[in-house]
């Protein structure tokens, strides 16, 4: 072992002994630090997995959705609009889409009613999302009554239940035939909730949207790229979710780093004074404190990140479940596909380890450059 | 400097740090493998999205504008009564659609 390595090991030994002398204080410090990293890393893992899932799954969302607006609110769109759009250059197909919400007063839950674009169930049959089936406590072959727009009840037979692996996109769905949908919602024939367009050429979609705005001024178009960008923004670092989840953790960390940076304890000052008095150089004292800071911050970073990984990907983010559920009665039961971005982990390390190390070294340098006698007497 | 059992404290610290770093490395490996293994399930979810013509993830079902984030309009959260504030917790988590931010 080279002299340099041995010197570092010896200083590290001394730093660890110094930390253990104040075990109570340092263990609580380590616990708080680990908890802050855990919260930051859990949020980062959760968002990165959700962003990845949204990007992969919604890559097959409709190319363009056309909604009709009346007095600034979404309104039913005439099916005849689809015929006009079908003839537009760049548009391969335009289809009316039927969907809406259905409030179940007994269970206080809102389901999404929908007529699938492909292979809709036959009349009198309903296909349930897994969470909807769980909440309704039903099974294949059983009847479920649905209250219609005029107050009557329409009973539908459960044809099948969508697999639980589709919960992230279809947990609350009730898939119906067009006839059942219109009977329940009261949406008249000739109207639809919105239109979906097939515009195969990605570069033409913006032009098509502009043309639609000119030809049908009471509509607005939502492109697939906008859908994807919405989810990218929602689960991005600047999204509302991060602001809410991270604000507490960041404040805790700022207070914590400020406490460290604002000065050393009398005991630590005396220790530095003694070390200087017995012949330690200022650089040795700074090295000692750097090792102390590194030992605490590295341990907290690694432990916090590992715990966060286990929390999000093995325990399905249990601690965030309440926040995510909000007031929802229907909530999908899903396990996220792990997605770890090395760049994000490195950023987290830089953001949590370096400020702490700097906050430890700076006051040490101030104390170590003062006369040992003055430090010990202060 | 040695602990009571004769092992240097630095050896214990470096050993624990090494194990933690190795576990972090395993997390990256696990994420990569799990991503590969989940590919068919993700493809099936994407197929469901295509077949049903879906536009949104089913994450927040408490309000229409949080259930269908991509299709929500700007004043949907505030439509209950004049000058009403955001009502549902999910509204503070999700934020408005990207196109309204421009």
ipTM score assigned to the predicted complex: 0.81
* A30 touches A157 (CB < 8 A): no
Q: Residue A245: which domain range?
A: 3-58+234-377
B19 and B35 co-located in one domain: yes
- For chain B, what is the domain count? 2
Q: Averaged over A111-131, what is the pLDDT?
A: 92
Q: What is the rounded CA–CA span in Å between residue B7 and residue A359? A: 31
A118 and A182 co-located in one domain: yes
B10 and B48 co-located in one domain: yes
Closest Cβ–Cβ partner in A117, A231, A295 for B51? A117
Question: Are the beta carbons of B20 and A303 separated by less than 8 Å?
Answer: yes
Computed from CA positions of residues B51, B52, B54, B59, in that sequence, does the dihedral angle turn out positive or negative?
negative
Q: What is the rounded CA–CA span in Å between residue A188 and residue A87? A: 24
Boundary-marking domain end, from A201, A223, A245 = A223
Token duo for residue A229 = 């960008």
Quick check: A255 pLDDT over 80?
no
- pLDDT band, residue B96 (cuts 50/70/90): low
User: pLDDT tens across A322-345, in order?
Assistant: 777 666 777 888 888 998 888 889
Question: Are the beta carbons of A313 and B46 separated by less than 8 Å?
Answer: no
B101 and B61 co-located in one domain: yes
The per-residue pLDDT for B77 is 53
For residue A154, count CB atoms less than 10 angstroms from its CB and return exposed for 0-12, middle for 13-18, buried for 19 or more. Answer: middle
**CA–centroid distance for A44 within its chain:** 7
A43 and A141 co-located in one domain: no
User: pLDDT tens across A4-21, in order?
Assistant: 889 999 999 999 998 898
Region for residue A326 given its phi and psi (left: phi exceeds 0; alpha: psi -120 to 50; beta: otherwise): left
Kindly report the length of chain B.
102
Contacts A345 to B, Cβ<8 Å: 24
Q: Residue B39: which domain range?
A: 1-54
- For chain A, what is the domain count? 2
Closest Cβ–Cβ partner in A60, A171, A233 for B58? A171
A274 and A372 co-located in one domain: yes
Q: What is the rounded CA–CA span in Å between residue A130 and residue A121? A: 16
CB contact burial B30-55 (16+ within 10 A = b; e otherwise): bbeebbeebeeebeebbebbbebbbb
| Residue A43 resides in a domain | yes
A49 and A131 co-located in one domain: no
More reliable by pLDDT, A260 or A287? A287
Question: Are the beta carbons of A58 and B57 separated by less than 8 Å?
Answer: yes
| Residue A169 resides in a domain | yes
Closest Cβ–Cβ partner in B8, B59, B70 for A324? B59
For residue A101, CA distances in Å to A300, B67, B91 come to 46, 10, 18
The per-residue pLDDT for A365 is 79
Q: What is the rounded CA–CA span in Å between residue A356 and residue A53? A: 34
Boundary-marking domain end, from A187, A203, A223 = A223
Closest to A57 (Cα-Cα) out of B42, B99, B19, B2: B42
């Amino acid at each position: 072992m080279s002299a340099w390595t041995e010197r570092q090991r010896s200083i590290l030994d001394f730093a660890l002994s110094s930390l253990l002398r104040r075990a109570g204080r340092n263990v609580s410090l380590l616990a708080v630090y680990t908890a802050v990293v855990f919260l930051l890393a859990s949020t980062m893992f959760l968002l990165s997995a959700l962003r990845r899932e949204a990007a992969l799954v919604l890559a097959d969302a409709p190319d363009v959705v056309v909604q009709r607006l009346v007095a600034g609110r979404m309104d039913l769109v005439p099916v005849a609009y689809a015929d006009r759009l079908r003839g537009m250059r760049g548009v391969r197909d335009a289809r009316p889409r039927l969907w809406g919400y259905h409030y179940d007063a007994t269970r206080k839950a809102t389901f999404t009613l929908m007529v699938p674009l492909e292979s809709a169930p036959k009349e009198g049959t309903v296909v349930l999302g897994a969470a909807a089936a769980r909440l309704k406590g039903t099974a294949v072959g059983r009847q479920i009554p649905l209250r219609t727009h005029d107050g009557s009840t329409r009973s539908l037979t459960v044809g099948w239940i969508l697999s639980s692996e589709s919960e992230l996109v279809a947990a609350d769905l009730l898939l119906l035939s067009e006839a059942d949908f219109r009977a329940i919602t009261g949406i008249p024939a000739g109207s639809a909730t919105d239109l979906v367009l097939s515009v195969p050429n990605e570069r033409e979609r913006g032009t098509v949207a502009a043309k639609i705005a000119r030809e049908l001024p009471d509509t607005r178009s939502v492109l697939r790229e906008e859908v994807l960008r919405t989810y990218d923004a929602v689960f991005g670092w600047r999204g509302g979710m991060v602001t809410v989840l991270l604000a507490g953790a960041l404040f805790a960390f700022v207070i914590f780093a400020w406490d460290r940076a604002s000065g050393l304890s009398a005991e630590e000052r005396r220790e530095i004074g003694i070390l200087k008095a017995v012949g330690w150089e200022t650089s040795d004292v700074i090295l000692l404190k750097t090792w102390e800071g590194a030992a605490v911050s590295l341990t907290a970073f690694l432990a916090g990140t590992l715990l966060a990984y286990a929390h999000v990907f093995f325990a399905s983010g249990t601690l965030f479940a309440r926040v995510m559920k909000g007031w929802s009665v229907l909530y999908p039961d899903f396990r996220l596909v792990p997605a770890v971005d090395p760049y994000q982990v490195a950023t987290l390390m830089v953001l949590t380890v370096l400020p702490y190390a700097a906050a430890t070294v700076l006051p040490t340098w101030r104390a170590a450059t003062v006369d040992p006698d003055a430090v010990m007497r202060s | 400097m040695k602990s009571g059992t004769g092992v240097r404290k630095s050896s214990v610290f470096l050993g624990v740090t090494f194990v933690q770093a190795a576990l972090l490395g395993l997390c990256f490996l696990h994420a990569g493998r799990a991503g590969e293994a989940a590919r068919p399930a993700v493809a099936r979810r994407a197929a469901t999205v295509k077949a049903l013509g879906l536009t949104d993830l089913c994450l927040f079902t408490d309000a229409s504008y949080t259930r269908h984030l991509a299709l929500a309009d700007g004043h949907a959260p505030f439509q209950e009564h004049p000058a009403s504030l955001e009502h549902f917790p999910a509204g503070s988590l999700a934020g408005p659609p990207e196109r309204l931010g421009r």
